[in-house]
Structure 1
Amino acid sequence: MLFAVLALLLLAVIVLPQFWVRHTLAKHGDDRPDIPGTGGELARHLLDRFSLPDVPVETSDRGDHYDPQARAVHLSENVYSGRSLTAVAVAAHEVSHAVQHANGERSFRAWQGLARFAMVTDKAAGIFFIAAPFLAILARTPMALVALLAVGVGLLSVRVLVTLATLPVELDASFGKALPVLEKGAYVSETDMPAVRSVLKAAALTYLAAALITLVDLARWVRLLR
């Protein structure tokens, strides 16, 4: 009974943030005639305003994100072509990442370095977890088994570090940059600002669910090591 309760609590911790993010973005995702431009047009305007004319704004089927390698803002079709509060807030959020990059901000540089390293460790993790069952058979000594588990923990820990570095970058993009720009520029009405804040919070916490899953996997490996 206790195990079932703990399992349900764990499931809630993982699922609820993801559900809240999707619900918030959908809640404010309807197009409105009083919004003068699309998310793509706002992103282009803001990039030009911040002297970043060489940063393109492109549609993407991989979700809304800023690509530091291509130095491009990628927006989903709903955001790129939409005239909703979600489109406005998300576009401003992603442009803020381009501003962070252009300014060479320390937190963004730290995240970028860890993200590049994580790309290597993720590939290694994929190979490792496929080979792990076979390696476990070969690891007949306790020390070999401990070493095997330690590798799993190490690979997962890199992803946790990336997540920890991502959160302050995301929060700054939403509340340190996008929110002041939208407020001072009067891109949305004062009555809509609470909704915009909710969308910006959702945009900043998009990675939270994935981070929690990674932490659960890490805890499982650490428990095996004990």
Structure 2
Amino acid sequence: MLWIAALVLLMGLAFGPTLWVRHVMRTHAADRPDYPGTGGEFARHLLDHHGLNDVPVDITEEGDHYDPRDKAVRLSRALYEGRSVTAVAVAAHEVGHALQDRDAYRPLRWCHRLVSTANLTDRIGTIVIFGLSALGGAALSPRFFLFGVAAVVLIGLIRVAAHLVMLPVEFDASFRRAMPIIDQGRYLPPEDMPAAHAVLKAAAYTYVAASLFQVLNLFRILRAFR
């Protein structure tokens, strides 16, 4: 019973923030015909206003983000073409990352290096784990399986760390950059500012939700090894 209770609690911690983020985004995604432009147009305006004319705004199917390698802001089609509080806030958030890159904001660079490292260890680790499992099965030696478990734990911890260290970067993009831009530029009516604040908070906590999901995934893999 304790094992089941711990699993249920862990699943709640892992999926709860993700569901909350999605709920906040959907709640404030209602179409607003009174807004003068779409999320994509707003991002383009902010980039040009801050001298980032060479940074494109693209439509993506991989989730809203700023790509520091290609120097591009990428928005989902719904937000790129939408006129809503969510579209405006998320566009400003991603432009906030572009401003971090322009300003050589060191935490952003550190985080993307760690994410790149995590992606590399994922690929290498998958090969190592399958190799050790095969060797362990062929040699009937538990040592190879233990090395495999150690590799899984290391890969999982690197991935969790990569998501967690993004938190201060996300908060900087939301509250030190995007929120002042929206507020001081009076891009939204005063009555919409609380909703924009909620969306920016959800955008900042996206990586917390992702890191908790990685913890659950690590727990699941270790349970399979057990």
Same fold (TM over 0.5): yes
Q: Which amino acid aligns with 2:27?
A: K
Distance 1:67 1:99 in 2: 12
User: Structure 1: where are the runs of 5+ without partners?
Assistant: none
Paired residues of 1:136 and 1:148 also in contact (CA < 8 A): no
Structure 1, 128-137 or 49-58: larger mean CA deviation: 128-137
Query: 1:119, CA displacement in angstroms?
Result: 2.2
Q: Which amino acid aligns with 1:46?
A: L
Residue 63 of structure 2 is matched in structure 1 by 63
Q: Which amino acid aligns with 2:202?
A: A
Q: Which amino acid aligns with 1:194?
A: P
Distance 2:102 2:35 in 1: 28
Distance 1:139 1:193 in 2: 64
Distance 2:5 2:208 in 1: 22
Residue 102 of structure 2 is matched in structure 1 by 102
User: Structure 2: where are the runs of 5+ without partners?
Assistant: none
Query: 1:120, CA displacement in angstroms?
Result: 1.2
Question: SS in structure 2 opposite 1:214?
Answer: helix
Residue 182 of structure 2 is matched in structure 1 by 182
Paired residues of 2:14 and 2:216 also in contact (CA < 8 A): no
In the alignment, is residue 35 of structure 1 matched against residue 35 of structure 2? yes
Deviation readout 1:129-153 (Å, 9 max, x if unpaired): 4445424324644544433322222
Residue 48 of structure 1 is matched in structure 2 by 48
Paired residues of 2:14 and 2:215 also in contact (CA < 8 A): no
Residue 171 of structure 1 is matched in structure 2 by 171
Query: 1:128, CA displacement in angstroms?
Result: 3.5
Structure 1, 168-177 or 3-12: larger mean CA deviation: 3-12
Distance 1:215 1:37 in 2: 40
Question: SS in structure 2 opposite 1:58?
Answer: strand
Structure 1, 155-164 or 55-64: larger mean CA deviation: 155-164
Paired residues of 1:61 and 1:76 also in contact (CA < 8 A): yes
Distance 2:154 2:138 in 1: 20
Classify 1:7/1:220 alpha carbon distance in 2 versus 1 (closer, same or farther; 3 Å).
closer
Question: SS in structure 2 opposite 1:59?
Answer: strand
Residue 197 of structure 2 is matched in structure 1 by 197
Classify 1:84/1:3 alpha carbon distance in 2 versus 1 (closer, same or farther; 3 Å).
same
Classify 1:221/1:26 alpha carbon distance in 2 versus 1 (closer, same or farther; 3 Å).
closer
Residue 211 of structure 2 is matched in structure 1 by 211
Q: Which amino acid aligns with 1:187?
A: Y
Question: SS in structure 1 opposite 2:66?
Answer: strand
Paired residues of 2:156 and 2:218 also in contact (CA < 8 A): yes
Structure 1, 212-221 or 193-202: larger mean CA deviation: 212-221
Distance 2:139 2:110 in 1: 37
Classify 1:217/1:60 alpha carbon distance in 2 versus 1 (closer, same or farther; 3 Å).
closer
Alpha-carbon RMSD across the aligned residues, in angstroms, is: 2.3
Number of aligned residue pairs: give it: 226
Question: SS in structure 2 opposite 1:207?
Answer: helix
Q: TM-score scaled to structure 1, two decimals?
A: 0.90
Q: Which amino acid aligns with 2:111?
A: W
Q: Which amino acid aligns with 1:98?
A: A
Paired residues of 1:146 and 1:225 also in contact (CA < 8 A): no
